[in-house]
Amino acid sequence: MSTLKVGAIRGVSASSDAITVASDGTCTANVTNNLSNRNLIINGDMKINQRSGTYNRPSGDEYTVDRFMTKTGSSFNFDTLTTQATDAPSGFTNSLKITPQSTQTPTGSDNGTIRYIIEGQDCDALAHGTSDAKKVTLSFYAKSASSNNNQVYTVQLTKRRNSDGTKYYLTQTFTVTSSWQRFTMSFVADTTNDIKNDNTEGIAIYWHLASGPDDIVSAQATWLANNGFRAATGQSNFMDNTSNEFYLTGVQLEVDNTGSGKATDFEHRSFGQEFALCQRYYQQFDDSANPGSYIWGIAYGGGGNSAGLVIYYQNVMRAIPTASGENLNNLNFNDGTAAYTAANNTFGFGGSEYGIRVSSSSLGSMTGKAIQVYSNSTTNTKIKLEAEL
């Protein structure tokens, strides 16, 4: 038996090695196929959209498709229409689409961004703050309309240090065209400053589409302490034309174990897997599947005129969620002899990471009763639970 001894293997026309072999016999491969569990982004292909299909957002911050938020800074209203679109590159079916509803020129520290946040405890593989710190590679697909062809936007990557919460950031620019492109950005390792290791913000990604002059500085290639928004020199103003469009999909953030700065193929997870991952941060219960006769569950009668409906989550949530409801006056609390309803403003919520109690003290006599709760109207009733970062 013969042995072939090599230090590396490289393709005929390649500029870098496909496989490198260490003196101890171990090897490192530059693999671009679909390895599992490497994408730190949830819903990067924009398939999951629990909240709605279209968002008319005149001011403030709002989640769009699951896990992705439109976010502003200072007094600037990122006056946009956002939606889940079916325009997508080959291999994808959905994208996040944003269009301006009015023209605006950002001033001062005005900012209009798309934001994604990763829990700190999901960033351990980067090993930041140690001598083994790894680079990270961000890849995504984006395109524009013809009206904003060749506009320049900024990606800002921030991380939060574990000891005191100080934020550090890096930036790179990219130029969109009216055709789908895949962008790949490599960000350097940081052997000095670690990353939060709990269920709060660890890494955040911002796509800057508009930014005021006070927050536009030279692109930052090494980690720098700063808690604010930072766009890079050359940043365009997405809000300069109501015909402008921005599409985003195929978002992937992965640890660069080889140091090559290359992105692997996008990791496609099943719809069920992606949906379950999204439910850690947001869950919505509604009667749209069977309006007018939807069975919500069994409630228990408290003292006097109070009753509580307990809903167990489909997946454990990141933290105790903020709960809200729509059209809760459509809920019938039926004890077998009579049905009771209550006004929307009489309902309260209480829960944990595992379940929520929806209760009212303005019903009929409920003491000691088991009560069936169902919808009595075709108007959609919703209970929304949010545990976003």
SS3 212: coil
Q: In b/e form, how buried is each residue of 141-180, taking b as 16+ CB within 10 angstroms?
A: bbbbbeebeebebbbbbbbbbbeeeebbbbbbbbebeeeb
Residue 254's pLDDT is 98
Residue 31's pLDDT is 58
* pTM score: 0.91
Residue 249 and residue 293 in one domain:
no
Residue 19 and residue 73 in one domain:
no
pLDDT single digits (tens) 152-162 = 999 999 999 99
Within a domain: residue 277? no
Residue 312 and residue 184 in one domain:
no
Residue 55 and residue 103 in one domain:
yes
Within a domain: residue 274? no
> Longest C-alpha distance within the chain, in Å?
88
pLDDT single digits (tens) 239-296 = 999 999 999 999 999 999 889 999 999 999 999 999 999 999 999 999 988 888 899 9
- What distances in angstroms separate CA 123 from CA 80, 159, 204, 262, one per listed residue? 31, 10, 11, 19
Residue 293's pLDDT is 85
Query: How many structural domains is the chain composed of?
Result: 3
Among candidates 249, 258, 234, 242, which has minimal Cα distance to 17? Answer: 258
Pairing of strands 231-232, 216-217: parallel
Residue 152's pLDDT is 98
Q: With a cut of 70, list the residues of the chain below it in pLDDT.
A: 1, 28-35, 56-60
Alpha helices in the chain (DSSP H): 271-278
Give the residue from 245, 269, 293 where a domain finishes: 269
Residue 4's pLDDT is 77
Residue 3: Cβ within 10 Å count = 4
Within a domain: residue 263? yes
Residue 265 and residue 179 in one domain:
yes
Domain extent, residue 349, equals 282-386
Residue 100 and residue 216 in one domain:
yes
Measured in degrees and rounded to the nearest 5, phi and psi for residue 100 equal -70, 145
Question: Which residues, 6 or more positions from 359, have their beta carbon under 8 angstroms from its beta carbon?
Answer: 302, 306, 307, 308, 309, 347, 348, 349, 350
Q: Which residues partner with 231 through β-bridges?
A: 216
Within a domain: residue 154? yes
Give the residue from 269, 290, 324 where a domain finishes: 269
Residue 169 and residue 78 in one domain:
yes
Residue 146's pLDDT is 97
Residue 255 and residue 376 in one domain:
no
